[in-house]
């Protein structure tokens, strides 16, 4: 992989401290690697204990669905990095039983989806952004999904929580822009990751035909680095006039307008 450089030849994110949630595999792991390549100091987090972070990155185990989990993570961030300049809210997903319907999603599944896909970002931002605001700079990326608009009854809780995340992201961007903090949302399309493959296998059992014809118009599924490339752009100074935006990175599969 090529090193990302700024105009003077130095790594573009040298001196920046970054937190990546869900950094142990899939899209998050690619974001961690690319941030390291760009010279950032990186802390990754996930629930798994059996994960070895790439050389140069720190790793903290946390379940960010709870208030206690996000507080422990924020404390670890302060202890290990002293604070953050870049926050990538990537951990996400939702359980859905085979053949489930929107009406059958239990209250517990709804709460889980909201806690992981929306409230984890809200809670972590409330703990970590005040220091960013005092410093007068920062970049936040909320990972949503490109597949927000086509109705998928079994994933109503997932889509609703990601819709909330995008709406929150826009509001936060407006509030934090005067403090030099940029906030953007990014929606991956079909990306080859453990979580993405597992979800699509469940959808395929429900609807073989549409799953088979769902190759994005660009002719292939995405790779984690396709998404990480776009995240790196959003957190870099090349995007210094970009805030409150939503970016689909989906091979053209889910046009929003």
Ligand X SMILES: NC(=O)c1ccc[n+]([C@@H]2O[C@H](COP(=O)([O-])OP(=O)(O)OC[C@H]3O[C@@H](n4cnc5c(N)ncnc54)[C@H](OP(=O)(O)O)[C@@H]3O)[C@@H](O)[C@H]2O)c1
Interface residues toward ligand X, by CB under 6 A: 21-28, 45-48, 62-65, 90-93, 116, 143, 145, 188, 190-191, 193-196
- Three-state helix/strand/coil letters over the chain: CCCCECCCCCECCCCCEEEEECCCCHHHHHHHHHHHHCCCEEEEEECCCCCCCCCCEEEEECCCCCHHHHHHHHHHHHHHHCCCCEEEECCCCCCCCCCCCHHHCCHHHHHHHHHHHHHHHHHHHHHHHHHHHHHCCEEEEEECCCCCCCCCHHHHHHHHHHHHHHHHHHHHHHHHHHHCEEEEEEEECCECCHHHHHHHHHHHHHCHHHHHCCCCCCCCCECHHHHHHHHHHHHCHHHCCCCCCEEEECCCCCCCC
What count of other Cβ atoms lies within 10 Å of the Cβ of residue 220? 11
What count of other Cβ atoms lies within 10 Å of the Cβ of residue 223? 14
Q: Which of 40, 145, 23 is nearest to 86 (CA)?
A: 40
Nearest approach in angstroms of CB 103 to ligand X is 22
Nearest approach in angstroms of CB 193 to ligand X is 3
Q: Is 158 a catalytic residue?
A: yes
State the catalytic residue, choosing from 51, 158, 168, 246.
158
Nearest approach in angstroms of CB 242 to ligand X is 20
Using the minimum distance from each CB to ligand X, give the nearer residue, 39 or 196.
196
Which residue number has the CB closest to ligand X? Answer: 195
Nearest approach in angstroms of CB 216 to ligand X is 11
C-alpha to C-alpha distance for 230 and 248, rounded to whole angstroms: 9
Instruction: State the catalytic residues.
Output: 158
């Amino acid at each position: 992989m090529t090193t990302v450089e700024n105009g003077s030849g130095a790594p573009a994110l040298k001196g920046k401290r970054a937190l990546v949630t869900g950094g142990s595999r899939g899209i998050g792991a690619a974001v961690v690697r690319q941030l390291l390549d760009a010279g950032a100091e990186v802390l990754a987090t996930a629930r798994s204990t059996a994960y070895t972070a790439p050389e140069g990155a720190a790793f903290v185990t946390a379940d960010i669905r709870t208030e206690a989990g996000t507080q422990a993570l924020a404390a670890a961030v302060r202890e290990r990095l002293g604070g953050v300049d870049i926050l990538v809210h990537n951990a996400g997903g939702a359980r859905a039983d085979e053949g489930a319907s929107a009406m059958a999603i239990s209250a517990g599944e709804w709460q889980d989806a909201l806690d992981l896909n929306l409230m984890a970002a809200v809670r972590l931002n409330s703990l970590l952004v005040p220091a960013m605001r005092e410093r007068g700079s920062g970049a936040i990326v909320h990972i949503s999904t490109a597949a927000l608009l086509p109705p998928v009854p079994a994933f109503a809780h997932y889509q609703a929580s990601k819709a909330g995340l995008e709406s929150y992201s826009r509001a936060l961007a407006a509030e934090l822009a005067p403090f030099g903090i940029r906030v953007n949302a990014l929606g991956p399309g079909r990306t080859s990751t453990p979580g993405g493959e597992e979800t699509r296998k469940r959808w395929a059992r429900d609807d073989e035909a549409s799953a088979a014809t769902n190759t994005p118009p660009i002719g292939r599924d995405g790779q984690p680095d396709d998404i990480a490339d776009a995240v790196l752009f959003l957190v870099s100074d090349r995007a210094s006039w970009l805030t409150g935006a939503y970016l689909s990175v989906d091979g053209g599969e889910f046009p929003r307008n």
